[in-house]
A and B are shown apart, each in its own frame.
Chain A
Amino acid sequence: MTLMEKMVATDQPLLKVEGLTKRYGPRIGCLDVSFDLYPGEVLGIVGESGSGKSTLLSCLAGHQRADLGRIAYDGRDLLAMSETERRRLGRTDWAYVHQNPRDGLRMGVSAGGNVGERLMAVGARHYGEIRGKAADWLGRVEIAGDRIDDRPSAFSGGMQQRLQIARNLVTSPRLVFMDEPTGGLDVSVQARLLDLLRGLVRDMGLSVIIVTHDLAVVRLLAHRLMVMKDGRVVEQGLTDQVLDDPQHAYTQLLVSSVLQV
C-alpha cells in the first residue's frame, strides 16, 4: 500500500450513521441522528435522562432495530446484515460496556473466566496464555491478582464495573460502546480508567462512543461531543468548543448547571 493509499484508507469513517430514527409507538426514542466516527476517535453523547442517548447507543450496537436510517460499519451496511454476521462482528470487532455490570458479566463464572471467555470466543486455546492475559487485564483495572478465581457476585459494584471493562477490552476491539461506564465508580478508580482508555485510544486507534451525563469525564476523554434532548441532537462539535462556547439554549443550561469543585 502506498502512503497515499494509506492516507485515503485512514480517512474513511469507521462508522457512518445517517438519519437514524427509533420510535416507541407515538413516543420518540431518537430522531434523525447523523454522524461519522473515525478510527481513533472518541465521541461523547450527553443529555439528561430520557433524552434518547441510551436508545441511540443500543440501536447503533444492534441491540434494538432502528425504524429508519442507515448505519455503515467499515463500509458495510449494518441494517442489511444477517444476525449471524452481526453477532460475529460483536465478538471480533466490537465491545459493549453496560451501565449495570451485571448485564455485561457472567455472574456465575470466576473473574478470570469472565475475561478468558472472551479470548476463547475469538480462538485463544492455550490455558496458560489465557490466564496470563486475564491476570494482566485484571491488574490494569486494579483488581488484585488473588481475586482472579472469585466470582463477580462477591465483588463490589465498582469492582464489577472494572471487571466488565477488562472483559470487553481484552480482545482489542476496534469499536467500543459505553453506557455510563464510570457512573458507579469511586473517583480515584474513574481517573485510572480514563487514563487507561486514553492510552488504548492512542496506542490501538480504538474508536469509542461513550454515553454519560458526566461533563468532566467527556472533557478529558471525548474528542467530539453530541448533545441530545428529546431524542434529537441539538448540538455537536469539538468537545471543548461545545463546553466552553455552547450555542444551543439547552447546552448552555447544561454547562452552567455543573457544580464547580
Chain B
Amino acid sequence: MIRIESLSKSFTLHNQGSTVIPVMAGAALTVNPGECIGLTGQSGAGKSTLMRMVWGNYLAAEGSILVGETDVATAAPRQIIALRRDTLGYVSQFLRVVPRVPTLDVVAEPLLALGTPAPQARDRAADLLQRLNIPERLWSLSPTTFSGGEQQRVNIARGFAHAYPALLLDEPTASLDAANREVVLTLIEEAKARGAAILGIFHDEGARGRVCDRLVDVTGFTPKAAA
C-alpha cells in the first residue's frame, strides 16, 4: 500500500549562505495492507522527515513514494489533496484547527469532506470521542483550550474517523495515561484488522512491540558524509 524507493532529501538554506544539508539518501521501505511498520532511530535521524515526505508537506529530491496509485514525490498538489481526503490519514503531534470550531465538528470534518451526511459523521465522531474518554460536556467546545493529552486524543479521533487505507501515526501514545493508551492501541489493531497499512513513530517500546510487525531503522537512510 505504501512503497518508498531510493528516496533522498536535502534542505537548501538560502538565507544562511545557501548551505545545503543532505538529510536522507536511498530510503526504501514497503508497508503492506494490514501491516504496521515502526520507524526507529535517534532523535534527528530523520523519522519525522520521512513521515512528512510521505504526507507530502516535505518535497522529495529523488525517488518515489507510492501510496496506493499515487506517487507523492511527483504528484500535483491536486492529486495529493485527493489522496489525503480519500486514502491517507495522518495523526500528527500537533492539533491544527480553526479556533472556535466545536470538538465534535473537528473530529467529523474528514467524513464531511468525503460527503458523509452530517448526522452520520457526528455519530461516528461521538463514538470515537466516547471511546477516547473525552467527556461529552467538552464536545461543543473548541479543542484549542484543552490540555495536551486531550488535544492529542481529539487528533487521534479525527485521524481514525474515516477508515483510511493508509495511516501515518506520529507518537500516537505519547502523553496518554494507561487507559487511553490501551484505547489507542486497540484502535490501531482494529485498523490493521480491516487492512490499513500503517507507518508510525513510537517512542513507547511497549506500544511498538505490541502493534508493529516490523521495525525500520532510519539511521540506514542517513547520507554518508561527503569525503
**Chain B residues, Cβ within 8 Å of A240:** 56-57
Question: In this complex, what residue of A is CB-closest to B77?
Answer: A238
B224 at the interface (CB under 8 A from A): no
B58 at the interface (CB under 8 A from A): yes
A249 to chain B, nearest CB (A): 3
- Give per-residue flags for B49-86: 1 if the beta carbon is below 8 A from chain A beta carbons, else 0: 00010001111000000000000000001101100000
Dominant secondary structure of chain A at its interface with chain B: helix
- Give per-residue flags for B94-116: 1 if the beta carbon is below 8 A from chain A beta carbons, else 0: 00111111000000000011000
B145 at the interface (CB under 8 A from A): no
B227 at the interface (CB under 8 A from A): no
Partner-binding segment picked from A25-33, A92-100, A145-153, A186-194: A186-194
B89 to chain A, nearest CB (A): 15
Residue pair A219, B14 in contact (C-beta under 8 Å): no
Residue pair A198, B78 in contact (C-beta under 8 Å): no
Number of interface residues of B (CB under 8 A): 22
B15 at the interface (CB under 8 A from A): yes
**Chain B residues, Cβ within 8 Å of A248:** 14
The answer for the CA separation of A256 and B13 in the assembled complex, in Å, is: 11
Given contacts A219-B96, A238-B56, contact A41 B78 (CB under 8 A): yes
Residue pair A224, B77 in contact (C-beta under 8 Å): yes
Residue pair A195, B98 in contact (C-beta under 8 Å): yes
A45 to chain B, nearest CB (A): 14
B83 to chain A, nearest CB (A): 11
A261 to chain B, nearest CB (A): 11
The answer for the CA separation of A240 and B97 in the assembled complex, in Å, is: 13
**Chain B residues, Cβ within 8 Å of A198:** 98
Residue pair B112, A202 in contact (C-beta under 8 Å): yes
* Residue from B14, B81, B100 within 8 A of A192 (CB atoms): B100
The answer for the CA separation of A241 and B96 in the assembled complex, in Å, is: 15
16 contacts between A and B (CB under 8 A): A41-B81, A188-B100, A191-B99, A191-B100, A191-B101, A195-B101, A202-B112, A224-B78, A237-B59, A238-B77, A241-B56, A245-B11, A248-B14, A249-B15, A252-B13, A253-B15
